[in-house]
Copies of this chain bind each other. A is one copy, B any other.
């Protein structure tokens, strides 16, 4: 998943993500603006907080490398993971909506994020309407992902939920070239999976083991391999939706 380069900030024109086909190209002018928009970088360790659940950060973040997740908790500690974040994902916009932070964001692995100041967001909309539209697009896309998670948690059985999660993780990982030799990184603990799927830890474990014993997938060394993707997709009632090329800011 890469490692942080201490001391030096990655210039946007050399951003390793842009060379991926997943991301739509940008003009030189736009790229130059994004470079000025990028205020700094944020390095976090695995398990570190990116946005605390209480309080405001007043900033936007794009995941540069590593994985993270958005979550919300009840006062007695029950936690729901809203979605997982991959490189290229934008976080922090929802803070514009509420006065307090509506959710927490935590790193799943060691990660690096590009930091953008909210104050310059207005310049972006005024000077580069296309980038403004791209931000809307990214927000709508994230909502689309959360919609899917809500369908999963609300209407799928435990096995179906786990199957869905496995497929989804692989799909997102593949989009950014993380499929190496048929396996993708899988840094989540079973507690993360349980919190994402609305299940208990114990039941998550049993369901995972059952699917693994059925030979549908294999989890080893924090990497995931789908052995029978077709069966998993049928089980989850999954069908791929073609996406437009994705903007990157």
**Residues of A with Cβ closer than 8 Å to B?**
70, 72, 74-76, 78-80, 82, 93-94, 96-100, 102-103, 121-122, 125-126, 129-130, 132-133, 135-137, 139-144, 146-151, 153-156, 195, 197-198, 237, 241-244
Majority-rule SS of A interface residues: helix
Leading 6 A-B pairs by shortest Cβ distance? A154-B198, A143-B143, A125-B129, A99-B242, A80-B154, A78-B155
Say how far A171's CB is from chain B's closest CB, in angstroms. 14
B contact residues around A80 at 8 Å (CB): 150-151, 154-155
B contact residues around A153 at 8 Å (CB): 150, 153-154, 198
B contact residues around A135 at 8 Å (CB): 136
Of all chain B residues, which has the CB nearest A121? B133
Docked Cα-Cα span, A132 to B243, in Å, equals 22
B contact residues around A141 at 8 Å (CB): 97
Instruction: Check if B154 sits within 8 Å of A102, measured CB to CB.
Output: no
Instruction: Check if B198 sits within 8 Å of A79, measured CB to CB.
Output: no
Instruction: Check if A150 sits within 8 Å of B82, measured CB to CB.
Output: yes
Subset of 20 A-B contacts with CB under 8 Å: A72-B151, A74-B155, A74-B237, A80-B154, A94-B140, A96-B137, A97-B141, A98-B144, A98-B242, A102-B241, A121-B133, A122-B129, A122-B133, A129-B129, A132-B136, A135-B136, A139-B143, A146-B146, A150-B153, A154-B195
